[in-house]
Amino acid sequence: MSEAMGEESKERRTGGIVRRGVERQIEDRKLLERPDGAPEFLESDPWRVLRIQAEFVAGFDALATVGPAVTFFGSARVRPPDPMYDAARALAAELARRGFAIITGGGPGTMEAANRGAREGHGLSVGLNIELPFEQGLNEYVNLGIEFHYFFVRKTMFVKYAEAFVIFPGGFGTMDELFEALTLIQTGKIVHFPVIMFGSEYWAGLSQWIRGRVLAEGKVSPEDLDLMVVTDDIQQAADIVQQYYQRKVLEAQPKEHAKPKKSDAQ
């Protein structure tokens, strides 16, 4: 075999590109071979963007058909017979009986209580769990569970699919969700939906500080205080959610325009 023929036998074609005497690893082989260690691309920003996109797609796909829902927040540290655990369970059951799905962070405490109430009220019980340094698995009362790596993707799901927020006593995470919801409503990023703070004794200090300091110094407007409702009444909380949702449905219906009478046309 001549030297020229030998060179020709090493020809490789990829699409419209011809390589002769230039070795290149076959792409399929690279894809199918297991790397020796963790690939560096797993820690790159482009790869993270794809993971973020995948989490949005998975969340939208899973939650698209849940119907009207209410998102519950509160401490992960409460346990029965804590009165707030019992109240979250009872309110979730009442809302479930009225046709609302219940969405929580999927963990223990208030989240477990709300998911438990949703099951007892024969409603859909949704848990949106988050990957944390310490293990937080989905509680046993979740019917539809989704695991998230990114807080902001999870937060989007809490807001997008909720007709109302119910905020039970909690810590920094609960406060974060409360003030984020109020900010989104205040700035017009989302429609004004009910933000119900359950447990008047717990929220009294915060409410007084907002009125006596934040409002007094002009940091918020008087109408901003109307964004929150504080209550201890399960029926009142459920009624607020139901009345808001019914009003929303009515407003979304196409308006019938009255046909002009013959005399009007003349």
| Selected residue with higher pLDDT from 255 and 79 | 79
User: Tens digit of pLDDT for each residue in 153-162?
Assistant: 999 999 999 9
Q: State residue 249's pLDDT score.
A: 92
Q: State residue 42's pLDDT score.
A: 66
- Sequence-distant (≥ 6) Cβ neighbours of residue 157 within 8 angstroms: 59, 63, 103, 128, 146, 148
The whole-model pTM stands at 0.80
- CA dist., res. 109 & res. 111, Å (int): 5
